[in-house]
A and B are shown apart, each in its own frame.
Chain A
Amino acid sequence: MSLDTWQEQLRRGGLDLAILLTVSTGPLYGLAIIQHLEQFTDLVVTEGTIYPILGRLTREGLLAAEWVEGEAAHARKYYRLTRAGDRRLAQMKADWRAFTDKIGRLIDAADQQGLVRS
């Protein structure tokens, strides 16, 4: 696997979690979610590909979507976290932390052994 492929998998792996975390702050529409993600991460490579992911998370029952008229010149589709989404997010956060801790320990151990060897 090339480095590019690995980085793309890593990005995709984090994107669902990043979107759920963003929406957990309160109901947000697509562009606001993208702007929030862009503010904290570089996970959004192509803005248009975020919308299909929002659609999938909605179909999976993790998000609920609702069109709101009159707030701006054009209707906005707002997303909010459902109860199932809340539960999934808690699990994903725990999994992510556990994973990064394990990999972090591995990196530390490898660095330490490298130092001892050199």
Chain B
Amino acid sequence: MIPTIVLSTPTLSWIPFLQPAGSLGNLWWLLMIPLILGISIAYRATHDASIEQFWQRVFLFVMKSTLAMGSLALVMYLFVYWIIPNLQTT
């Protein structure tokens, strides 16, 4: 599927920070990754006793969190689209 970027207002030019950047269509959930990155930078900067290997730890945190969220999404998808329809038919 090709992502389409659609401006939310019919203007000829886009004013950054005043107008919304537009949506990513069905790929809006990818914005979860920069969100996790920001959280992880702020969290690791305050939580860790040492800031050696900071970016490696941030990368691991982002990977683990993304995988965890992805797994939850997969479980929910299976539950809603597979388990519940089967329950109704039996």
Asked whether A and B interact, the reply is no
> Which B residues have a C-beta under 8 Å from some C-beta of A?
none
